[in-house]
Amino acid sequence: MDVKEKVLDRYSSKVYKNRKQHVITLEKAEETKIAANTRAIPGIITQRGCCYAGCKGVVLGPIKDAAIIVHGPIGCSFYSWGTRRHKAQADEKNDEKADSYLEYCFSTDMQESDIVFGGEKKLKKAIEEVNSIFHPSIIMICSTCPVGLIGDDIHAVAKWAEETVGVKCIAFSCEGYKGVSQSAGHHIANNGLIRHIIGTGDKEPEKRYSVNILGEYNIGGDGWEAERLLKRCGIDVVSVFTGGGSYRDIKNSHLANLNLVQCHRSINYVADMMKDKYGTDWIKGNFVGVESCAKTLRDVGEYFGDEALKSRIEEVIADELDAIADDIEYYKSKLKGKTAALYVGGSRSHHYQMLLNDFSIRTVLAGYEFAHRDDYEGRCVLDDIKPDADSKNIESITVEPDEKFFKIYLTEEQKQALIEKGVELNDYAGMIPEMENGAIISDDLNHYETEEFLKILKPDIFFSGIKDKFVAQKSGILSRQLHSYDYSGPYAGFRGAVNFGRDLVMGLYTPAWSYIKAPWKDVPILNGVMGGEEAC
């Protein structure tokens, strides 16, 4: 029995039939297709989140100058506050007030009577209150499960707020039960951004070459590192979606020349719609990993095709590499030959393999919580994905070219030439092509499978999140969280790679476990008497 079969063998035939499509071993020619974005099996301890988590927590949450009111019971707000490390710096507004609401938590705190009689009045009151106290540039409303069930019309309330209160207000019907995971919430947030924000500003970029960074959430300061590098190369960053980003900047994003997509899963809808509406091309970049980061910068240079810019980019890369060379070499000497398993949301299990390659660490298992088939197999399978009842529930917007702002930056021939040079232009090849034969991929990995795979594959490091971290850690495998970096970071960019190498070496070479003796090694944990004898 191979590893996959050994792990799945314990399931009932019904569960086995389902899970065997979500787990693949890469050496098997017949296994190139993976099932993804389908409902988790009831009773299996999945690590997924809900639609509201994807909309409010992931995509909208980091927009620092938006006051986001959660319309729902207080528990939903509690679990969206301060739980993700998307950092942002407050900008000074009107020279008197820092304009960032990341540290605040606004909720309508719905009670039983609101569920019975409706919560719209309470929501209106909350908007008036937030507006009078904070005067935000924009208020967003995110609804949670009960709101969808009782039918509060949050969109009508948003319209009322714009007309009566005089504040820009957008509503997102991102009730937790929609779709099969947080992925549905990403889509809903993307739709709102394109419909109500992108294209509403008129501030031209400051430099000749400008980009937006899409799908970068500034976890542990990653986005700042990507921005620093681009700016060093002389490229203007108009907006970041959405880590450290703002409504103020995102509304001007249609005026940038190019989109760079870091996390394809969470923001591909905006990238596609901006291409259709404004003609903005996108490149699938990746600032995680030394090689990938250099390639991303070079791809941007190739896109603009300006020789002076390209040589400036080479200078920056050479300088950055020079600064980290000794550290990387040292950490690589300590990490070479180790193995890793990764299990994260919908893009990092791919990106971090590139960084692991920089240290000669091999990936034996990789999985996503809520990715779609295109994130594994590439966008070439998009036409092959049949929508089901759950995905049909999420609105898919078709946009038309914008009369005023649609522009074409490159001709079709120029685009083709770029693709031939290896630039992933308006495309993403997914995680699978970059993995080695023999590696295992598991979609929606659950607790049982995690434990079994770790037992059999024995990776030196398990990268995951807070929910599955401690099982690995307590069994003696080094665990690093890739959602929060265990409060370290940044890990992106050239400097980030050094932080990453240092944290791994620190974890693997800390002899902490050898100082601890399990209590049962000295003291018996059971007391008993010999059978058939009287205790005296």
Q: Closest residue (Cβ) to ligand CFM? A: 345
Classify 445 in phi/psi space as left (phi over 0), alpha (psi -120 to 50) or beta: beta
- Among the options 40, 50, 55, 184, which is catalytic? 50
The Cα-based distances of 285 to 100, 127, 218, 493 in angstroms read: 28, 38, 15, 12
Q: Which stretch in 94-102, 206-214, 260-268, 314-322 sits in contact with ligand CFM by CB under 6 A?
A: 260-268
**Pairing mode, if any, of strands 339-344 and 478-481?**
unpaired
Question: In angstroms, rounded to a whole number, what is the distance separating the alpha carbons of residues 151 and 241?
Answer: 30
Binding positions for ligand CFM, 468-487, rule CB under 6 A: 483
Q: In angstroms, what is the minimal distance from the CB of 369 to ligand CFM?
A: 6
Q: Is 174 a catalytic residue?
A: no
Question: In angstroms, rounded to a whole number, what is the distance separating the alpha carbons of residues 126 and 108?
Answer: 6
Q: Is 67 a catalytic residue?
A: no
Name which position in 48, 56, 248, 265 contacts ligand CFM (CB under 6 A). Answer: 265
Compare residues 246 and 266 and give the one whose CB is closer to ligand CFM. 266
Name which position in 347, 353, 450, 479 contacts ligand CFM (CB under 6 A). Answer: 347
Compare residues 126 and 366 and give the one whose CB is closer to ligand CFM. 366
Q: Which stretch in 315-323, 339-347, 487-495, 499-507 sits in contact with ligand CFM by CB under 6 A?
A: 339-347
- Residue 433, number of CB atoms within 10 A of its CB: 10
Query: Binding of ligand CFM at residue 119 (CB under 6 A)?
Result: no
Q: Answer yes or no: are the C-beta atoms of 168 and 139 closer than 8 Å.
A: yes
Query: Binding of ligand CFM at residue 230 (CB under 6 A)?
Result: no
Q: Answer yes or no: are the C-beta atoms of 262 and 344 closer than 8 Å.
A: no
Question: Which residue stretches of 336-462 are H helix?
Answer: 348-358, 373-377, 389-392, 412-420, 447-457
Q: Answer yes or no: are the C-beta atoms of 342 and 352 closer than 8 Å.
A: yes
Burial 96-112 (b: 16+ CB within 10 A, else e): eeebbbbeeebbbbbee
Name which position in 34, 50, 219, 423 contacts ligand CFM (CB under 6 A). Answer: 219
Rounded to the nearest 5°, which phi and psi values hold at 415?
Answer: -65, -45
The CA-to-CA distance between both ends of the chain, in Å, stands at 53
Residues 415-454 vs ligand CFM: string with x where CB under 6 A?
----------------------------------------
Q: In angstroms, what is the minimal distance from the CB of 442 to ligand CFM?
A: 15
Q: In angstroms, what is the minimal distance from the CB of 466 to ligand CFM?
A: 10
Name which position in 7, 50, 51, 58 contacts ligand CFM (CB under 6 A). Answer: 58
Q: Is 50 a catalytic residue?
A: yes
Q: Total residues at the site for ligand CFM (CB under 6 A)?
A: 16
Question: In angstroms, rounded to a whole number, what is the distance separating the alpha carbons of residues 110 and 75?
Answer: 10
- Quote the longest CA-to-CA distance of the chain: 97
Q: Answer yes or no: are the C-beta atoms of 240 and 249 closer than 8 Å.
A: yes
Q: Is 84 a catalytic residue?
A: yes
Residues 159-198 vs ligand CFM: string with x where CB under 6 A?
-----------------------x----------------
Compare residues 23 and 58 and give the one whose CB is closer to ligand CFM. 58
Name which position in 209, 217, 241, 376 contacts ligand CFM (CB under 6 A). Answer: 217
Query: Binding of ligand CFM at residue 495 (CB under 6 A)?
Result: no
Q: Which residue has the tokens 């590893």?
A: 3
Query: Binding of ligand CFM at residue 263 (CB under 6 A)?
Result: yes
Q: Among residues 444, 440, 462, 468, which one has the least CA distance to residue 3?
A: 440
Q: In angstroms, what is the minimal distance from the CB of 264 to ligand CFM?
A: 8
- Among the options 84, 155, 195, 298, which is catalytic? 84
Question: Which residue stretches of 486-526 are H helix?
Answer: 493-509
Which residues participate in catalysis according to the annotation?
50, 53, 84, 186
Q: Residues interacting with ligand CFM, by CB under 6 A?
A: 54, 58, 84, 182, 215, 217, 219, 263, 265-266, 344-348, 483
